[in-house]
Each structure stands twice: as structure tokens, then as C-alpha cells.
């Protein structure tokens, strides 16, 4: 396993540090609680060493845990694949069709985007997932999606074990008035359980059942979203770019026809771009198979047009009149600012006195989408002659 070598040799210590984040802590805690309680309840409900059904049930439970952790850690430590720093295209003419990233000091190939959390340009970036504390992109998309389907399946199995354990242990102790509800549990009860089902065990099982059901619903919904992304070969960011392309064409009435370049025309063909027998996705993360009517830079050219149009259609310009250090919750700016801080993990941009802020979008009645009252001075409408887009 790739992630094991990275952990054992400590070749990439910063990757191991990804575990020190609330997302992996919560995710691994849920996996640990559900798996541990399911194993204990399996021993109480369906002794694995006495019957074939118990053995199959126990082996399946262990397999779910191993597969879930395998895909989870691969999604985290294999990572999405990052564009090399100072990257440049082979042909000098191609650079005019690409965006330049000032942070990575290199051009961004098609489908790549800069992640502020990872502080790198990511290959075919879909989103930054806090649960793995890493981006979902080109190299780990299959691992991430596999984890999203295995987790609900494993939790569904665990939920069945929790329900049957509580039923068999409480049926003879408490009368619910369900005289017609009877389940033959003679096979699982052949051996007296080694551990008593006490009140704390019941409470722990009930808590684990809630976690399992919640995970099944929440992660299951994420799986369907990712399958939609894979079958269309269109990341969440690219879907937003396509939507803005249609809006731009309609706004200016240019008569253009925007064709998304990476949809290969069939769900199976799109599926095979991510899932392969070798486990390694197709492509190098820079060059991509495209629609016959498109070329490698169809999407990047559209992005450049949108960047330029974004500056033209910006709402208003502001000038900072005091310093902001980029703190998440700046107490020194007052209680109103403290409680209106946006609930996002996106890093804040420090401001110096005199810096110009260009508000490109905002909420109704509040064109400045910063969420911070920073005593900004209004300059006026932005320059209607857009400059070269920044990375």
C-alpha cells in the first residue's frame, strides 16, 4: 500500500500531519466506534465460531473495516496530484491560453486549480474535502469515491447488527406489547455470549446505531454526487465554469456555442477515465482526451474570458484604511465583526493600509462579500478596461 510506505519511512512528514485535523479525527472516530461496537455486538448476538452464518457475518464486518480504511487513507495520502512548481507548457505559444499562478510561480494546465488550503495547484481539482484534509482530484478520485460507497455499505451492515443485538437482548427482558413480532434466533443463541449486555452496552449500541444511520445517509448522498461528477467527467468547479460560460454568452449575446470539452459522449467512457483495473487513473493530469469539436485549451480560454469579464462587471472598489492581519475571528475589530465571520475554512487574506479590494459579487444589499466590517473606503466603480487575469 502506497500510504504505508509514506508513514513508515516518513518521506513526507507533512502528509502524516494531515491526520491532525478535525475532519480526519471525526471521520476515524466514527469508523472506530461503529466498527468496534459492531464487533462486540456480533459476539453477543451471533457467535462467529459456532455457526457458518456467524463466521460469514464476522468476516464481512472485518472486510468492510479494512476496505474502508484502505480507501480512506489512500484518498488522504496518495492525494490528488499536484502540478510541479514553476511548471510551463512545452510550447511557448500555449502559455497565452493558460492562467498563471503567482503562488506556485507557474502556469496552470487545463482542469487544474489552485487550492488555498493545500497551497498548491491541484490536478483536475473537484473540491477540498475536510474529512480527508486533502483535495479530491485526479489521482485519488477513485479512492475517494470507493470510500464513499463502502462507508454506507459497512454502516448499513453494522446498523443491522446493532438492531438485532438490541432486539434479541431486550425481547426476553422487556415486554413491548409486540406479541405478534417473533424472530427465530435459535441459531445465533446456541452459545451464551461471553460479554453481558448491560445498560452501558445498550447505550453505546444505541449511540453507534445513530452514527451508522447518519453516516449511511450523509455519505451516501455524497457518493451519488461524486458518481454524477464521474459519469459526466465534469468536476464541481467545471460545472460552475460551464454555468458562468452560458451566463456570459447570454449576457453579451455573442452567439457562441460552448461545448464542455471533457465529456467523451458516454457514461462508460467517462467512468473508465477514473476507475481502472490497475487503480491508477488514465492520463498524466496535464493532457486530457477531449470532445471532437474541442481542443486542449477550450476550457482555459473560457476561463480567461470569464476572468476578464469578472473585472469588467465588478460591482465596486474599496480601499483598506486600516490593517487586517488575516485572523479568522478578529476580536480587535469589534463584536459585530467577530460574530459575522463567515463559517468557512478558506484562509483570510491579510490587508495593509491602502490595499485595493475589488468586490466582484456579494449578497443583496451588501456588495462586499468579506463578512468583515473593516472600515473600508469606497473608491468607486472599477476600471472598465480589464487587465490580464491573475492566477
Please confirm, yes or no, whether 121 is among the known catalytic residues. no
CB 63 within 8 A of CB 119: no
Structural element, H or E, at residue 100: strand 99-101
Here the cell at position 327 is: 485572523
Q: Catalytic pick from 129, 135, 136, 155?
A: 129
Count the Cβ atoms, other than its own, within 10 Å of residue 65.
20
d(CA 251, CA 322): 37
Closest residue by Cα to residue 307 from 245, 378, 243: 245
Here the cell at position 83 is: 502540478
Residue 114 CA to its chain's centroid (Å): 15
Closest residue by Cα to residue 125 from 83, 157, 159, 160: 83
* Rounded (5°) CA angle 224-230-236: 80
Please give the biggest Cα pair distance in the chain.
82
3-state secondary structure of 359: strand
Closest residue by Cα to residue 337 from 302, 297, 376: 376
d(CA 165, CA 49): 17
Closest residue by Cα to residue 111 from 299, 319, 391: 299
User: Which residues are the active-site residues?
Assistant: 129
Amino acid at each position: 500500500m502506497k500510504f504505508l510506505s509514506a508513514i513508515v519511512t516518513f518521506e513526507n512528514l507533512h502528509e502524516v500531519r494531515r491526520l491532525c485535523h478535525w475532519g480526519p479525527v471525526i471521520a476515524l472516530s466514527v469508523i472506530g466506534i461503529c466498527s468496534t461496537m459492531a464487533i462486540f455486538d456480533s459476539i453477543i448476538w451471533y457467535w462467529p465460531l459456532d455457526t457458518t452464518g456467524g463466521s460469514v457475518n464476522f468476516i464481512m464486518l472485518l472486510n468492510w473495516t479494512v476496505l474502508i480504511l484502505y480507501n480512506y487513507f489512500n484518498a488522504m495520502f496518495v492525494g490528488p496530484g499536484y502540478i510541479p512548481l514553476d511548471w510551463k507548457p512545452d510550447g511557448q505559444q500555449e502559455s497565452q491560453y493558460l492562467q498563471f499562478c503567482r503562488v506556485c510561480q507557474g502556469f496552470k494546465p487545463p482542469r487544474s486549480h489552485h487550492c488555498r488550503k493545500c497551497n498548491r495547484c491541484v490536478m483536475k481539482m473537484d473540491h477540498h474535502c475536510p474529512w480527508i484534509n486533502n483535495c479530491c482530484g485526479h489521482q485519488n478520485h477513485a479512492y475517494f469515491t470507493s470510500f464513499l460507497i463502502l462507508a454506507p455499505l459497512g454502516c448499513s451492515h453494522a446498523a443491522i447488527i446493532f438492531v438485532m443485538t438490541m432486539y434479541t437482548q431486550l425481547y426476553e427482558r422487556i415486554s413491548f406489547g409486540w406479541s405478534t413480532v417473533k424472530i427465530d434466533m435459535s441459531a445465533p443463541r446456541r452459545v451464551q455470549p461471553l460479554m453481558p449486555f448491560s445498560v452501558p452496552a445498550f447505550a453505546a449500541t444505541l449511540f453507534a446505531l445513530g452514527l451508522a444511520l447518519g453516516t449511511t445517509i450523509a455519505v451516501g448522498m455524497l457518493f451519488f454526487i461524486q458518481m454524477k461528477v464521474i459519469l459526466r467527467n465534469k468536476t464541481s468547479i467545471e460545472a460552475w465554469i460551464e454555468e458562468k460560460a452560458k451566463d456570459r454568452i447570454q449576457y453579451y449575446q455573442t452567439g457562441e456555442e460552448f461545448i464542455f470539452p471533457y465529456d467523451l459522449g458516454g457514461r462508460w467512457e467517462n467512468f473508465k477515465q477514473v476507475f481502472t483495473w490497475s487503480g491508477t487513473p488514465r492520463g498524466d493530469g496535464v493532457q486530457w482526451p477531449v470532445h471532437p469539436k474541442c481542443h486542449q485549451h477550450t476550457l482555459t480560454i473560457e476561463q480567461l474570458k470569464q476572468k476578464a469579464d469578472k473585472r469588467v462587471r465588478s460591482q465596486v472598489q474599496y480601499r483598506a484604511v486600516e490593517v487586517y492581519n488575516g485572523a479568522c475571528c478578529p476580536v480587535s475589530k469589534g463584536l459585530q465583526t467577530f460574530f459575522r465571520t463567515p463559517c468557512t475554512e478558506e484562509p483570510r487574506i491579510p490587508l495593509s493600509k491602502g490595499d485595493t479590494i475589488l468586490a466582484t459579487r456579494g449578497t443583496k444589499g451588501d456588495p462586499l462579500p468579506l463578512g468583515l466590517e473593516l472600515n473600508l473606503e469606497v473608491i468607486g466603480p472599477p476600471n472598465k478596461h480589464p487587465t490580464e487575469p491573475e492566477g
